[in-house]
Amino acid sequence: MASESTVQVLIPTPLRRFTDGESRVEVSGATVGDALDALEARFPGIDERVRDDSGQIRRFVNLFVNGQNVRDRDGIATPLSPGDELGIIPAMAGGSAA
Amino acid sequence: MPWGVSYFLMKNSEYAMHDRAKATRTTPEQAICGPDAALLASIAESAVARSIGNTPLHRLRRYERYLGLPETIELHLKAEWVNPGGSIKDRTALSIVRAAIKSGQLGPGRTLLDATSGNTGIAYAMLGAALSFPVTLVVPGSASEERKRTLAAYGARVIYSDPYEGSDGAIRLVREMTSVAGDDFFYADQYNNPANPAAHVATTGPEIWRQSDGRVTHLVAALGTTGTLMGTGAYLRQQGAVQLIGVQPAEAFHGIEGLKHLPTAIVPGIYDPSLPDRIMGIETEAAFEAARALARVEGFFAGSSTGANLAAAGELARELASAGQAARLVVIGCDGGARYLSTGLWELG
Ligand SMILES: Cc1ncc(COP(=O)(O)O)c(C=O)c1O
């Protein structure tokens, strides 16, 4: 099993109501899925916006590891290294908190 | 692509460039001079400008049957994707550009500048090419690849705003740019420009009234800048007792291109909350589902905001059916499906 990595998660404005307004939070995890679990543990409600009931990334959500879409890698199983940036972006950016 | 890096590189170079011009921000009242007669004449001569509007209104008989609606409830779709720039925003952009040329705000030495999530930008870029004025657009970095390439094809200059800040981030960046370099730009400001709803008072509204034989009972229109609902709605209200339904994403975090979740967004200045009879919230998945069903059931290939409108119309139609009411719903078909081929909307499987 891969070891845990501390990564930065970049939060888009419409999800910042879950992170006390923070645009960047630090979590640990060996994979993207782990990081999302850790994010949910700290900020309940965020994961169901990103993943559906079956645990898949919602169609309209893109997750990026260091700018690369995880759909082009191993999805939520994509491994994380210390210092990686995990970005969450709705595929189309609409309105967001002013 | 590492967005953060390109965003900050862009920010620094742009700001250095414009720092010298400590001009005041362009306000709608600040005209450079009188209207540019040549530019005005070029609108009248432009084949592109002349092919904007007069779109068909299609009765969706197959989709009505697919929803199991009774004969007394009709759904009609306004096919805005046939506009030359591919969306309803061609009307908005033409109206804004025409008004700005007439008032002298857009003319020699001025670049049209606006924040746009895509369709209005495509329309401005198209008109800039057709009428020969420069266009600079601020687009969230998360806009689809199709949109970015379409803007480049028309020769517009594109500045990407922080994708994590969404369309409101684009608006804020434009405001910063105009505050340091106001005189170089005509800030089209589609969210606050009265020429936006005026486009629909003058064209979309009258077309719908005529095409529905004055028998439209409900208008269903998605809310972005809110120009479509405000303008078309205001016109239809003057003609008769038409119910005006606004459609927005159910959640702040959504994937319906061009739409705003009003409770959490910068509310557009052109929005009058007293006009709509009802605002319906639609989940992104439901909007995608309706757009997919439209393609399969009717053979019309439309985008996700059209899907949101159809999902709302379907919900409303069922309510009306169970109340035993007859209705003729007009649904706005904002843009076509091809603009979303790289996105989750048409993901296989
Ligand atoms: C695809 C799409 N649908 C709907 C809308 C909303 O239209 P309006 O800005 O008139 O409210 C837009 C506006 O940008 C759009 O691009």
CATH number of the domain at A72, please: 3.10.20.30
- B34 class by beta-carbon count within 10 Å (0-12 exposed, 13-18 middle, 19+ buried): exposed
Could you give the dihedral angle defined by the CA atoms of residues B329, B226, B169 and A23, in that order, rounded to the nearest 10 degrees? -60
Count the domains in chain B: 2
Q: Is residue A98 part of a domain?
A: no
ipTM, 2 decimals? 0.89
**Residue of minimum CA distance from atom 1 in ligand 1:** B258
B42 and B81 inside one domain? no
pLDDT reported for residue B231: 98
Q: Return the residue matching tokens 């960047």.
A: A24
% of chain B exceeding 70 in pLDDT: 90
Specify whether the CB–CB gap between B139 and B160 falls below 8 A: yes
| Same-domain status, B43 and B171 | yes
What integer pLDDT is reported at residue B30 of this predicted model? 56
Interface of B with A in 32-61 (CB under 8 A): none
B144: annotated active-site residue: no
Residue B164 is encoded by which pair of tokens?
């994590």
A44 secondary structure, DSSP code: T
Contacting residues for B44 by C-beta, under 8 A, at least 6 apart? none
**pLDDT tens digit sequence for B147-195:** 888 999 999 999 999 999 988 899 999 999 988 877 789 999 999 999 9
Q: Which 8-state DSSP code applies to residue B104?
A: T
pLDDT score at B36: 86
B225 CA → ligand 1 middle, Å: 7
Q: How many CA atoms lie within 13 A of B7 on its CB side?
A: 19
Range(s) of the domain holding residue A12: 5-90
Same domain, B145 and B8: yes
Range of the domain at B152: 3-18+31-48+89-187
Of the partner residues A14, A23, A85, the one whose CB lies closest to the CB of residue B253: A14
What is the C-alpha to C-alpha distance for residues A17 and B300, in angstroms, rounded to an integer? 38
Asked if residue B26 has pLDDT above 50, the reply is no
Same domain, B160 and B123: yes
**Residues whose beta carbon lies within 6 Å of some atom of ligand 1:** B 87, 89, 117-120, 222-228, 257-259, 303, 305, 334-335
Helix, strand and coil content of chain A, in percent to the nearest 5, comes to 25, 30, 45
Q: Please say whether the beta carbons of B93 and B195 come within 8 A.
A: no
Q: What angle do CA B27, B116, B260 make, to 5 degrees?
A: 105
Residue B195 lies in a domain: no
Q: Which of B82-86, B179-183, B278-282 has the lowest mean pLDDT?
A: B179-183
Q: What is the mean pLDDT of chain B?
A: 90
Whether residue B303 sits in one domain with residue B227: yes
Minimum Cα–Cα distance from B261: chain A residue: A95
Tell me which chain B residue has its CA closest to the CA of residue A24: B164
What is the number of domains present in chain A? 1
- Protein residue closest via CA to atom 14 of ligand 1: B258
In this prediction the pTM is 0.91
For the segment B105-118, the average pLDDT, to the nearest whole number, is 90
User: Which residues partner with A87 through β-bridges?
Assistant: A10, A64
CA–CA separation, A90 and B257 (whole Å): 10
Q: Among B187, B214, B239, which residue terminates a domain? A: B187
Q: Check which CATH number belongs to the domain holding B81 and give it.
A: 3.40.50.1100
Please indicate whether residue B142 is annotated as part of the active site: no
First to last CA, chain B: 26
- Amino acid found at B290: A
Please check whether residue B193 lies inside any domain of the structure.
no
Instruction: Report the 10 Å Cβ neighbour count for B335.
Output: 27
For the stretch A29-87, pLDDT in tens is 999 999 999 999 999 999 999 999 999 999 999 999 999 999 999 999 999 999 999 99
Which runs of E-coded beta strand occur in B96-155? Answer: 111-115, 135-140
Contacts with B196 (C-beta within 8 Å, 6 or more apart), sequence order? B92, B95, B96, B190, B225, B227, B230, B231, B270
Rounded to a whole number of angstroms, the distance from the CA of B240 to the nearest CA of chain A is 32
Question: Do residue B106 and residue B239 come from a single domain?
Answer: no
Contacts of B288 by beta carbon, 8 Å cutoff, 6+ apart = A59, A60, B255, B304, B307, B344, B345
Q: What is the DSSP letter of B260?
A: -
